[in-house]
Amino acid sequence: MDKKGSMGRFMVQIEHCENATWQGTILWTEKNITQKFRSALELIKLMDSALQIEEEKS
Q: Give the span between the Cα atoms of 28 and 35, in whole angstroms.
A: 9
Please indicate, yes or no, if residue 12 is contained in any of the structural domains.
Answer: no
- The residues of the chain scoring below 70 in pLDDT are 1-6
| pLDDT at residue 32 in the model | 96
Residue 32 lies in a domain: yes
Per-residue confidence (pLDDT) for residue 1, from 0 to 100: 44
Instruction: Report the C-alpha gap between 55 and 52 in whole angstroms.
Output: 5
Residue 44 belongs to what domain range? 20-57
Task: Provide the pLDDT for residue 19.
Answer: 87
10 found inside a domain: no
- pTM confidence score: 0.80
The reply to whether 7 falls in a domain is no
Does any domain span residue 4? Answer: no
In a domain, 38, yes or no: yes
Residue 56 has a pLDDT of 80
How many domains does the structure of the chain reveal? Answer: 1
Question: Residue 41 class from Cβ within 10 Å (0-12 exposed, 13-18 middle, 19+ buried)?
Answer: exposed
Torsion 37-43-17-33 (CA) sign: negative
- What pLDDT is recorded for position 25? 98
pLDDT recorded at residue 3: 54
